[in-house]
Chain A
Amino acid sequence: MFSPLRRAGVIAARRSTRSVTTIPNEPSSVMKEAMGALAGILGQKDAFNQPLAPPPTPPSLPATLANGPQDQPLMLIPVEEDPLLQFLTSYIQRNGERKKAAKIVSRTLLFIHTLTRSPPLPILREAVLQVAPACKITSTMFGVRPIYKPVALSEKQRTHYAIKWILESSKSRPEHKLEERLAREVVDIVQCTDPKSQGALKKKMEVYNMAMKNRTNTNMR
């Protein structure tokens, strides 16, 4: 029933892609406008502001159909899949086997929940936010010696590096299954007190130390 509206919403929303690492309770104003453009008959306010909330029950058709668009309540259709989970699934999948990767991600969330007894998605998001670097180091040759220059990263690039480093550091764990290793790694990142001992955070620290040393090169060619 919602599929044509959902499709229109996806097209409208693609113009301003929903950010992967922002907190779901703070959507952009452009996103709000895109959702507002689909103001429909059945309405539920603030449904998009809380995508992790339980799905709304559809109410009966109100008598406001005859009124103008100003009187119609907003219909906020939540996105089908969380962008961060989509990103993680795409990174894990091989040879086009999407369902296999989706199962791994699903079981990872289950493991996180069993380890922490709390909602797993905010924990995953927090871990990705903590590991994601704000910049990377590019090197160019200036004659004989290399010049290291810090370059700012976009949100998608930051998420990519975070997921890459988390997966790499989870390889050193003894558990057999990827989902368990990944879950324990995520929980370790969130609970970590000493970044030097944690694999992914140590990698981030190395990048930042290099960036701080070469911060004068940011304006160079």
Chain B
Amino acid sequence: MHIEKLKVRPRKNPAFNMCATQLNQMLSCMVTTGDVFHNGHCKTAAADLFHCMATTPFRGKQHRSPINYHLARLNKKIK
């Protein structure tokens, strides 16, 4: 069997949403209590989010699989 272009669609890396949990908690708190400026009940939730953003390291480029490079390279060896 001859395949002209041997290629796969590799899986995407999982999305990196920085401090998404803390942000979600703060926004949920704001919706339930109505504390839009996080001065009262949501002050601790906001403080947690700010601390998370201050301490979490930024994730750079994620590793992408080179499967297609290898498939293209080895394609000519397949009869």
Contacts and interface: CB of A to CB of B under 8 A. Distances in A.
Interface of A: 19, 130, 134-135, 150-155, 195, 201, 204-205, 208-209, 211-212, 215, 218-221
A201 B19 CA distance: 24
Contacts of A219: 15, 17, 20, 24
21 contacts: A19-B54, A134-B38, A134-B50, A150-B27, A151-B18, A151-B23, A152-B19, A152-B20, A152-B49, A152-B52, A154-B54, A155-B54, A205-B36, A208-B30, A208-B37, A215-B27, A218-B20, A218-B27, A219-B20, A220-B17, A221-B12
Contacts of A152: 18-20, 22-23, 49, 52-53
A3 B24 CA distance: 46
Nearest to A130: B37
B interface, over-half SS: helix
B28 interface: yes
B23 A208 contact: no
B49 A195 contact: no
Interface of B: 12, 15, 17-20, 22-24, 26-28, 30-31, 36-38, 46, 49-50, 52-54
Contacts of B49: 134, 152
Nearest to A154: B53
B38 to A, nearest CB: 7
Given A152-B49, A205-B36, A219-B15, A212 B24 contact: no
Nearest to B31: A212
A155 B54 CA distance: 7
A interface, over-half SS: helix
Given A134-B50, A152-B52, A215-B27, 7 more contacts: A135-B23, A152-B20, A154-B53, A195-B37, A209-B36, A211-B27, A218-B23
A105 B12 CA distance: 48
Contacts of B24: 215, 218-219
B9 to A, nearest CB: 16
A218 B23 CA distance: 8
Contact of A218 (B17, B38, B54): B17
Contact of A155 (B17, B19, B23, B53): B53
A108 B28 CA distance: 38
A154 B54 CA distance: 7
Contact of B27 (A19, A195, A212): A212
